[in-house]
Amino acid sequence: MNTAVRLISQVKDALGHLNPSEVREDARKPFTIQLFASSNDGFLQMEDWLVPPDQADSRREEAFLMVRRGSDYANGTVIRICEQGLSRGPDDFVFIRQHPNQLVTEVLERHADLRLTLARWLAPFREPVVQGIIRDISKENALFAIATSIPSIVPVLSIPWAVGEFASDTAFLTGNQIRMAFMLAAASDRTIGYRQQKGEIASMFAGAFGWRAIARELVGKIPFGGGVIPKAAVAYAGTYVVGASLERLYRVGYGYSASERKEVYASALEKGKQVASTIARGFSQKKG
């Protein structure tokens, strides 16, 4: 079996652990935003922030099935948001006009399980959730690249979908990027699935060979701290570029050009070195 066929077989095996329907379910989790304000203007400001007027009318109507004034309606997880200055309960969130993004951060910290569905429906949540997904998956791939170079630490891996043994780093990294594609599509209110995202997935298969070529000299059981950092930095940067390009694709309809990809990759590689060094130090301390 030649290298290309073997790699594709390995990635397909890794994908056997990925189920896009689980991502769809996360993006459909029910929730209700209950708004509390002292005036109609107060309600309108919160509503226009959560569901901007420039959205399609049909989409706004759907969103307002979940964003409601007062507590007369509740479906799924209830998130209560009060205008600043109103009395509130200990679990309520406060909308501060000058710092609305603070509320987004607080809601996502408390309701991390709702991040996909909140991003799908409510504009202020989309960018923070999408950027968080890209960072998280990039870090996971850097972690995996380090762990597979140091046999003694492989058992500490706790990446959710990493089940069983993987034949190569490339198989895992590509599979994890496809998982990221499912999550980014969900958060961006796009269709999710192997068939629905076949173009994006095909480009990741092609990119897998690029990762393999770049990292070939670094693959293997190498001394701690030697080639581990650059190997993990490449894993981080390659994944970050894929995620950033998908974010643009889902947001405006097209991804990065070749020159833009190079620019983003160079920046992400520097960040990847920092991330990889931090992970490696953590493993080194555990070994000590």
Per-residue pLDDT of the chain (288 residues; tens, 9 = 90+): 444 444 445 555 555 567 889 999 999 999 999 999 999 999 999 999 999 999 889 999 999 999 999 999 999 999 999 999 999 999 999 999 999 999 999 999 999 999 999 999 999 999 999 999 999 999 998 988 887 776 554 444 444 444 444 445 677 788 888 899 999 999 999 999 888 888 887 776 565 445 544 444 444 444 444 567 888 888 899 899 999 999 999 999 988 888 888 889 889 989 999 999 988 887 666 655
Alpha-carbon distance 82 to 43, whole Å? Answer: 10
Alpha-carbon distance 233 to 225, whole Å? Answer: 12
The predicted pLDDT at position 200 comes to 82
The predicted pLDDT at position 224 comes to 43
Q: Name the residue with tokens 């597979």.
A: 148
End-to-end CA distance of the chain: 42
Alpha-carbon distance 34 to 163, whole Å? Answer: 40
The predicted pLDDT at position 131 comes to 97
Torsion over CA of 14, 17, 22 and 26, rounded to 10 degrees? -70
Q: How far is CA 159 from CA 23, 40, 135, 191, 204, in A?
A: 16, 46, 14, 25, 20
CB burial class (10 A; 0-12, 13-18, 19+) of residue 147?
buried
Q: Domain ranges for the chain, please list them.
A: 3-26+125-287, 29-124
